[in-house]
A = this chain, B = another copy of it.
């Protein structure tokens, strides 16, 4: 069945470089050179054309596995994520990493571990088997992680997380600057008595944003009043519940730990017959489009640079960007102004 014709194709087999060579009447080496545009290869223009035509005519496609095998190097980058379905955050990291990788001719091998250690081990093993150039180990919210041992076998960059006691490069959002930026937006609008609704969960976001809040206040000559700092669950319900207490403090503005908290707080404000921003100015954090851009009024907030985190991760991995001393690259959280902050007219 398959042995009566010369060099029979196996089931569904694809056109090989050798077939192109035969069709063009040249050697495989020549085909390889022209198709890869190997620099320093002296091939006549006529031959070049013949090869190209043959390749096109046959619909030739290189076999990546063969190429990988012989060069001993692949253009794969692994990306392990702990939760890609919960929020758009992981998606943004993947997107950023994808684009940056793609631009360099790299392909992403994506694995979702759902926080399962075993799945994580398997995922990393598979990536290693595929000779990835390195692995981006990412989390959907900024936090400390414990590293799977297998990561030691390849280049690893931590994205949106960091490993205490490890010296692996990490790229994370600059929470302190973010907190400073959010507070500054309020200060710039003339607010002086500004509450901060922080999260109840210990995290870099908790500590960093608080610090940024304090720094901005102090830089404006305002003493931080501990009575103005609250803790609430980082969800709508937390924001809703905390409002009465912040109102008691007679503030004109609140900086919320995240947009969800701001959303809940909006509800509580409305329920008391008050309005944002007339009675209370609000800054969020995260810039979750689906909420922030569509609240009434649209919420001013500070963005989390997830896409850039992913992109910077691959640049670090590929050596296109230097790891800063200390091993931690902190990415700026951009301000995004909408309509939830009232300008008091006076600055500072």
Contacts and interface: CB of A to CB of B under 8 A. Distances in A.
Contact of A112 (B10, B99, B126): B99
Contact of A74 (B65, B236, B271, B295): B65
Interface stretch (A88-96, A177-185, A212-220, A340-348): A88-96
A130 B237 contact: no
B86 A110 contact: no
Interface in A178-224: none
A125 B240 CA distance: 51
A47 interface: no
A98 interface: yes
B130 A110 contact: no
Interface residues of A, number: 62
Interface in A64-114: 64-66, 68-69, 72, 74, 84-88, 90-92, 94-95, 98-99, 102, 107-112, 114
Contact of A98 (B64, B110, B130): B110
A245 B233 CA distance: 37
A13 interface: yes
Interface stretch (A28-36, A247-255, A259-267, A317-325): A259-267
A308 to B, nearest CB: 12
A2 to B, nearest CB: 14
A114 B91 CA distance: 12
A296 interface: yes
Top 5 A-B residue pairs of the complex, sorted by shortest distance between their CB atoms: A65-B68, A236-B294, A85-B95, A64-B129, A85-B92
A260 B290 contact: yes
A291 interface: yes
A338 interface: no
A99 to B, nearest CB: 7
A131 interface: yes
A65 B61 contact: no
Interface centre among A86, A125, A128, A130 (most CB of B within 10 A): A130
A115 interface: no
Contacts of A117: none
Contact of A291 (B114, B153, B290, B306): B290
Given A66-B69, A74-B65, A130-B65, A263 B91 contact: no
